[in-house]
């Protein structure tokens, strides 16, 4: 696997020095490496529109004197080289655990600056998150909070686990289940823990504890066979994000599906003796069965 972490630091510094009217085209060029992969799955993808409407990305329709210093801080902190190092270690671990596993020949990685006023990014997500379910493409979004600066590389590793998984496991938007996504998220966070310890894990899978975790786990597992991509966000991301995406809430806190997924992944790992790396391509039903979660899927 060839992993290319694109130099979006230079591209963003150039973009924020341009007149506002030129910035959408500059952002479109920044996203160009992901365009082919995403369009092959989604059809013609408006990555610039998604960046601002739902992707928590920086604004390109106005001046903001916070943006240039933020990119400089990220560059000075060595964010891009650390992402490269984390991804190299992640791929080495997966390739060693499952020799010959299917994967994209080349994975393009694009990191973009987030919007510091976006609550989903800076409050719920600790300043960073990613999307890596399209084999060959990983998008990362961050605002340079202390947490994001420390953990963005681990988020990239989480997304690489997804990237390899969905080169092996079919994701059909019409038939995908809550079970598939929570298994994927739980295994990816368990994988981060394998690579770098519990302190490397994201807030998504670790924020819920005690009675709140128990209640959430019961509700998520009760909905494990809910089908269709548009029905997943309430169970996976929780009510606040569900509303953001125009979905009906089901009474769950932020990222409940990640916490439930980690619990499922841990039960599967304990029952089988496998690692999260070795489990990257396992069907969700197998993982759920190993974890003792009944499913009709």
pLDDT in tens, 75-133: 999 999 999 999 999 999 999 999 999 999 999 999 999 999 999 899 989 999 999 99
pLDDT tens profile 254-285 = 999 999 999 999 999 999 999 999 999 999 99
Q: Alpha-carbon distance 283 to 183, whole Å?
A: 9
Question: What is the per-residue pLDDT for 40?
Answer: 62
- State the pTM of this model: 0.95
Band of residue 54 on the pLDDT scale cut at 50, 70, 90: low
Complete DSSP assignment for the chain: -EEEE--HHHHHHHHHHS-GGGHHHHHHHHTHHHHHHHHHHHSS--HHHHHHHTS-BPPSSS--TTHHHHHHHHHHTTHHHHHHHHHHHHHHHHHHHSTT----SEEEEEEEEB-TT-HIIIIISTTEEEEEEETTEEEEEE---HHHHHHHHHHHHHHHHHHHHTTTS---TTT-BHHHHHHHHHHHHHHHHHHH-GGGS-HHHHS--HHHHHHHHHHHHHTTT-BSGGGSHHHHT-HHHHHHTT----S--TTHHHHHHHHHHHHHHHHH---TTTTTT--HHHHHHHTT-----
pLDDT tens profile 187-198 = 999 999 999 999
């Amino acid at each position: 696997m060839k992993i290319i972490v694109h130099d979006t630091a230079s591209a963003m510094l150039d973009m924020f020095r341009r007149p506002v009217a030129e910035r959408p085209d500059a952002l479109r060029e920044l996203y160009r490496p992901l365009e082919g992969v995403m369009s092959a799955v989604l059809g013609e993808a408006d990555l610039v529109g998604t960046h601002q409407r739902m992707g928590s990305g920086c604004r390109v329709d106005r001046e903001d004197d916070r943006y240039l210093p933020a990119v400089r801080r990220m560059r000075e902190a060595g964010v891009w080289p650390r992402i490269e190092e984390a991804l190299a270690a992640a791929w080495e671990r997966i390739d060693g655990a499952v020799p010959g596993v299917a994967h994209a020949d080349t994975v393009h990685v694009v990191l973009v600056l987030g919007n510091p006023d976006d609550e989903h990014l800076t409050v719920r997500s600790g300043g960073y998150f990613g999307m890596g379910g399209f084999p060959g493409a990983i998008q990362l979004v961050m605002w340079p909070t202390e947490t994001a600066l420390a953990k963005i590389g681990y988020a990239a590793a989480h997304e690489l686990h997804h990237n390899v998984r969905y080169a092996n496991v079919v994701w059909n938007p019409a038939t995908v289940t809550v079970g598939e996504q929570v298994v994927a998220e739980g295994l990816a966070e368990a994988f981060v823990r394998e690579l770098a310890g519990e302190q490397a894990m994201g807030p998504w899978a670790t924020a819920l504890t005690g009675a709140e975790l128990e209640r959430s786990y019961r509700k998520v597992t009760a909905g494990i066979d809910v089908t269709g991509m548009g029905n997943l966000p309430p169970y996976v991301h929780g009510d606040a994000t569900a509303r953001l995406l125009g979905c009906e809430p089901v009474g769950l806190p932020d990222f409940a599906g990640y916490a439930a997924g980690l619990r499922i992944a841990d039960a599967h790992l304990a029952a089988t003796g496998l690692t999260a790396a070795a489990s990257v391509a396992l069907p969700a039903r197998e993982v759920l069965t190993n974890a003792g979660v009944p499913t009709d899927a």
